[in-house]
Amino acid sequence: MKNGKRRMRQLLAVLAICGVGGLSALPASRAMASQPGSDKQRADIVTIDGMQAYGSLSQPKVVFLHDKHTTALGKQKDFYKKECGTCHTSDKDGVMQLGFKRDGAPVSGEKLRDVYHNGCISCHKDMAAAGQKTGPTDVQCKGCHNATPDVASNWQPITVDKRLHYRHAATQEKAENKCGSCHHIYSEKAGKTIAAPKPEDVPGSCSYCHGETTTVDAKRQPKEIRSLRLAAHGECVTCHKATAAAGKDVATGPVTCAGCHGPLDQKAIAETSLKKVPQGADLRIKRGQPDLVMVRPAVAEAPLIVDGKPVKPYAGMPAVPFDHKSHEAQNETCVSCHHASLTSCAAKCHTPAGNKDGGFVTLEASMHKVGASQSCAGCHAVLQKKPECAGCHDSRVKGVGDVAQCGSCHVKPEGDLKEAAAVMMAKPAAKETAAAEADMAKKLLAGKRDVTATFPAEDIPETVTIGSLSKDYEPSVLPHRKIVLSMLAGMKDSKLAGAFHAADAAVCQGCHHNSPASTTPPRCSNCHQAVETTTASARPALKAAYHTQCMGCHTSMGIAGKVVDKAADAKPVPVATDCTGCHKDKKK
């Protein structure tokens, strides 16, 4: 029985992919008409395969097109009077069920099958009798159970980005409890979910409580926490529909599948957001988060004992002065970093030693894991894939592997700050005032660059002639200064790049790698031998070093074969096999 219930729940979740009825003929969708995409690429595909929970399927799954049904029914006003109620029942409180023609109670497999067969076919038959165009009416299974449907899904998840959140908040500006209109919490006293009373009570993103599947918390009533899918459709679409039905002139959101999940509609939403949100509007979602904060590394708690005596307590890595506000501006949602809750990463999940709640991901890994986009190093590594960064960074070690980079985040306090920082870090985090932390962070960040800089242009050699290997070809004349300046231009809007390219020579090291930072870096041939030998080495010989460096960068930056220079006589950056693009043929 218990098992059956669980299955039923899964089933409901599956069925509810787009389970909320929405009719394109309603005023709501007039406000934002769904754009007609290609008929074969659809966002409204609901795969009816609920019978899977009762054993293997004897027929192919049914590909049900939700928007197609709501549109068709919407056109049949005379015939169709119950709106969503045609397919979806509502409970005594008027809350609509997302499954087809049934409440949430468990049913047997046979019953479920009958619900579909009777529900679908009888409706099709009635419409056919009334002389309307409709779906399959006979018992020819193939009509619905089609293993090779001619439609493909272009469904994509929708993100409530900062602008969309701003637009929603703006509609509630006059409401008494602005945030509570959407954000609810579970109240033990009330024994149910209630509107979040104050902004600080908002737990954050819906996904923090509503997971991929519906979960059960036996300690509360109701026990079930709906899956994100059920919750989002239940709340968002219902509200959009109700708003549209209530007010004449109030614009509201989509109620069709494609309206939220279709790529074209999403583009339209983004464009509308750009238009509707005033220039310079403060998009921050304010819930008491700091502008600046000190992120503390895990410090060994007990002092180290050597020969039975405690030695100087381990000071640990310097704390990271973190510009939270600037990171907020770079991300669309809080979830980009705070993926499971808004509390501190280390509080419950990513403890220094790791625990079950955090999937045994330690605090250190949660900040440095390159493969995880929520970690600091992981997100930065994703950004390094941008063409303007990839030229240098594709071939460089990422994340903590590059130990030379530690100090970029773990800023070492110098001078007056040394002692103040030591005192602050010796206290447990909670004991420090936010203001003092912010102040310390500000001071430590003061020396950081906002934009990438390097040596003055006149000090950068204009051309470099590479000719030591010249044999079949003339020496290659490298437009050295132009290359450096175009790389700088690519980074001019990146504060991240500025902060990490701390030294003037940092940019040089994209090419002059592994060598001492200086205006006169050693020649390539100091490390890359000019003559290839029969002894294999991981370090390429000179000819390959040049070619790999130049071509690799051109390819990563996506500029090979393109004219990047604005000058009238500018030549395209040579593609890899265009030898004479870099060095003239000697024979000619």
Partner 1 sequence: MKRRHFLGLLGAAGVTMGTGVSAQAASSADVKGLPNAGGVLFDATRCIGCRKCEAACNQVNELPKPAKAFDDLSVLDTIRRTDAKTYTIVNKYVPEAGKPPVFRKSQCNHCMEPACASACFVAAFKKTETGAVVYDESVCVGCRYCMVACPFNIPTYEYDKAFTPRVMKCTMCYPRLLEGKLPGCVEACPKEALLFGKRRELLNIAWDRIGGTPGRYVEHVYGEREMGGTSWLYIAPKPSFAAIGMDENLGTASAPELTSGALAAVPAVAGIWPVLLTGLYAITKRKDKIAEAEKQAAVAAAIATASADAAAKLSEELAKAEVANKRRIEVEVTKALEAAAKAAEEGEDA
Phi first, then psi, for residue 390 (nearest 5°) are: -60, -30
Q: Which stretch binds partner 1 (CB under 8 A): 8-16, 188-196, 477-485, 571-579?
A: 571-579
Check: CB of residue 195 under 8 Å from CB of residue 181: yes
Query: Which bin fits 191, alpha (ψ -120 to 50), beta or left (φ > 0)?
Result: left
Q: Which stretch binds partner 1 (CB under 8 A): 58-66, 95-103, 422-430, 537-545?
A: 537-545
Question: Where are the extended beta strands (E) located within 407-498?
Answer: 464-466, 476-478
Q: In the bound complex, what is the minimum distance in angstroms from residue 134's beta carbon to partner 1? A: 40
What interhelical angle do 162-171 and 263-276 show, nearest 10? 60
Pairing of strands 152-153, 41-42: parallel
Residue 543 binding partner 1, by CB under 8 A: yes
Q: In the bound complex, what is the minimum distance in angstroms from residue 438's beta carbon to partner 1? A: 37
Supply angle C-alpha 233, 107, 46, rounded to 5. 35
Question: By C-beta, is 65 or 560 nearer to partner 1?
Answer: 560
How many residues in the chain?
588
Q: Which stretch binds partner 1 (CB under 8 A): 74-82, 441-449, 517-525, 533-541?
A: 533-541
Among positions 200, 577, 587, 588, the unique one binding partner 1 when judged by CB under 8 A: 577
Q: Which stretch binds partner 1 (CB under 8 A): 23-31, 109-117, 177-185, 575-583?
A: 575-583
Provide the 3-class DSSP secondary structure of residue 553. Answer: helix
Residue 468 binding partner 1, by CB under 8 A: no
ω into residue 222 within 30 of 0, thus cis? yes
Question: By C-beta, is 138 or 585 nearer to partner 1?
Answer: 585
**DSSP conformation class of 33:** P
d(CA 28, CA 22): 9
Q: Which stretch binds partner 1 (CB under 8 A): 80-88, 128-136, 488-496, 543-551?
A: 543-551
Residue 451 binding partner 1, by CB under 8 A: no
Phi first, then psi, for residue 429 (nearest 5°) are: -50, -45
Question: By C-beta, is 283 or 551 nearer to partner 1?
Answer: 551
Among positions 548, 561, 562, 571, the unique one binding partner 1 when judged by CB under 8 A: 548
Binders in 380-409 for partner 1, by CB under 8 A: 395
Question: By C-beta, is 482 or 543 nearer to partner 1?
Answer: 543
Tokens of 328: 């907020």
* Gap between the terminal Cα atoms of the chain: 87
Q: Which stretch binds partner 1 (CB under 8 A): 154-162, 189-197, 337-345, 576-584?
A: 576-584
Question: By C-beta, is 277 or 551 nearer to partner 1?
Answer: 551
Q: Is 12 exposed, middle or buried (0-12, 13-18, 19+ CB in 10 A)?
A: buried
Q: What residues contact residue 305 under an 8 Å CB cut-off, 6+ apart?
A: 311
Question: By C-beta, is 220 or 547 nearer to partner 1?
Answer: 547
Strand partners, 477: 465
Among positions 533, 566, 567, 587, the unique one binding partner 1 when judged by CB under 8 A: 533
Q: Which stretch binds partner 1 (CB under 8 A): 177-185, 312-320, 475-483, 531-539?
A: 531-539
Q: Which stretch binds partner 1 (CB under 8 A): 6-14, 97-105, 415-423, 573-581?
A: 573-581
CA distance readout (Å), 432 to 89, 510, 575: 55, 40, 57
Check: CB of residue 293 under 8 Å from CB of residue 324: yes
Among positions 535, 566, 569, 587, the unique one binding partner 1 when judged by CB under 8 A: 535
Among positions 6, 220, 448, 547, the unique one binding partner 1 when judged by CB under 8 A: 547
Residue 526 binding partner 1, by CB under 8 A: no
Question: By C-beta, is 287 or 398 nearer to partner 1?
Answer: 398
Among positions 404, 536, 567, 568, the unique one binding partner 1 when judged by CB under 8 A: 536
Binders in 195-224 for partner 1, by CB under 8 A: none
Among positions 147, 306, 404, 538, the unique one binding partner 1 when judged by CB under 8 A: 538
Among positions 199, 263, 540, 581, the unique one binding partner 1 when judged by CB under 8 A: 540
Number of residues that bind partner 1 (CB under 8 A): 20
d(CA 277, CA 274): 6
Question: By C-beta, is 126 or 532 nearer to partner 1?
Answer: 532
Supply angle C-alpha 213, 219, 225, rounded to 5. 25
d(CA 11, CA 20): 15
Among positions 541, 564, 581, 584, the unique one binding partner 1 when judged by CB under 8 A: 541
Q: Give the up-direction half-sphere exposure of residue 414: CA atoms within 13 A in the CB hemisphere.
A: 5
Q: What residues contact residue 318 under an 8 Å CB cut-off, 6+ apart?
A: 297, 410, 411, 412, 413, 421, 425
Binders in 353-372 for partner 1, by CB under 8 A: 371
Pairing of strands 45-48, 41-42: unpaired
Residue 91 binding partner 1, by CB under 8 A: no
Residue 544 binding partner 1, by CB under 8 A: yes
Question: By C-beta, is 3 or 534 nearer to partner 1?
Answer: 534
Q: CB 276: neighbour CB atoms within 10 A?
A: 14
Report the amino acid identity of residue 84: C
Pairing of strands 184-187, 215-216: unpaired
Question: By C-beta, is 453 or 541 nearer to partner 1?
Answer: 541
Q: Which stretch binds partner 1 (CB under 8 A): 50-58, 109-117, 442-450, 546-554?
A: 546-554
What residues make contact with partner 1 under the rule CB under 8 A?
A: 371, 395, 532-538, 540-541, 543-544, 547-548, 551, 555, 576-577, 579
